[in-house]
């Protein structure tokens, strides 16, 4: 009927109307309702981060984090594309997060000193292959919470570095126009989300020392 057709973007749907719906969770069809649900929350109010992050009642926390990480990755790819305009391998020769620390790219058999842009790409690729790995995530519905929570933290640390730290510290120029003009406001959410995730996963000591 009409209610479900809103989720399908038929030919000719305008960008601003895409994926636009306010369905309650119960009406989202299929077992994998988390993802459309999260996207719906973002669409309706991307600034309401606490609402977006709030797991629905009875939701498995592992699955919830997994879906959020996937969504986060997805949006981070947009940033990587924009970063290419400003972050050149010969300028940002290393992954620097703050002035003092340089990081090793962990996406290789033996960690390498990849330039910041490569680091970004490798980390995103690595995350994509991890999140789609059959071995670790055989099902999107049931996640082995414990087995993979440990991996979440590794990747979110890397994301945080490249996304929040590197962009924020070294590409302020791109960061601001990006938020204001070039890209739609959703990316603010990205920053905020990254920040919040970080905050949730790692408590305050960490932050004070890093910021």
Residues that bind Zn ion (CB under 5 A): 87, 92, 105, 107, 114, 116, 122, 170
Q: Tokens 């994926």 — which residue?
A: 19
Q: Tokens 């981070």 — which residue?
A: 76
Q: How near is the Cβ of 117 to Zn ion at its closest, in Å?
A: 6
Identify which range of 51-59, 63-71, 147-155, 179-187 contacts another protein by CB under 8 A: 147-155
Can you read off the two tokens belonging to residue 60? 């498995």
Cα separations in angstroms, 190 against 136, 138, 175, 194:
25, 27, 12, 6
- Calculate ∠ Cα 81-102-208, nearest 5°: 95
Under the criterion CB under 8 A, does residue 204 sit at the interface with another protein?
A: yes
Please provide the DSSP assignment of 127-172 as one string: HHHHHT-TTT-S-SSS--HHHHHHHHHHHHHHHIIIIIIIIHHH-H
Q: How near is the Cβ of 207 to another protein at its closest, in Å?
A: 8
| Given 151, 179, 191, 195, the residue binding another protein (CB under 8 A) | 151
Contacts to another protein from residues 86-145, by CB under 8 A:
94, 100-104, 106, 108-111, 113, 135, 144-145
Q: What is the largest CA-CA distance in the chain?
A: 58
Q: How near is the Cβ of 166 to another protein at its closest, in Å?
A: 14
Under the criterion CB under 8 A, does residue 16 sit at the interface with another protein?
A: no
In the complex, which residues of this chain contact another protein (CB under 8 A)? Answer: 10, 94, 100-104, 106, 108-111, 113, 135, 144-151, 153-154, 157, 201-206, 209-210
């Amino acid at each position: 009927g009409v209610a479900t057709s809103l989720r399908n973007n038929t030919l000719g749907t305008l960008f601003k109307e895409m994926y636009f719906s306010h369905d309650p969770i119960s009406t989202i069809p299929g077992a994998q309702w988390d993802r459309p649900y999260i996207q719906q929350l973002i669409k309706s109010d991307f600034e309401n981060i606490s609402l977006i992050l709030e797991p629905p009642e009875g939701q498995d926390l592992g699955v919830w984090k997994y879906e959020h990480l996937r969504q986060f990755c997805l949006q981070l790819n947009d940033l990587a594309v924009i970063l290419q305009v400003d972050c050149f391998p010969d300028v940002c020769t290393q992954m620097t997060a703050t002035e003092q620390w340089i990081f090793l790219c962990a996406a290789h058999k033996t960690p390498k000193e990849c330039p910041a842009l490569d680091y970004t790409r490798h980390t995103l690729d690595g995350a994509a292959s991890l999140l789609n790995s059959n071995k670790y995530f055989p099902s999107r519905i049931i996640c082995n919470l414990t087995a993979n929570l440990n991996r979440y933290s590794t990747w979110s640390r890397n994301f945080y570095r490249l996304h929040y730290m590197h962009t924020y510290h070294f590409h302020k120029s791109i960061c601001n126009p990006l938020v204001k003009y070039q890209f739609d406001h959703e990316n603010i959410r990205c920053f905020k989300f990254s920040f919040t995730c970080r905050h949730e996963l790692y408590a305050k000591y960490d932050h004070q020392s890093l910021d």
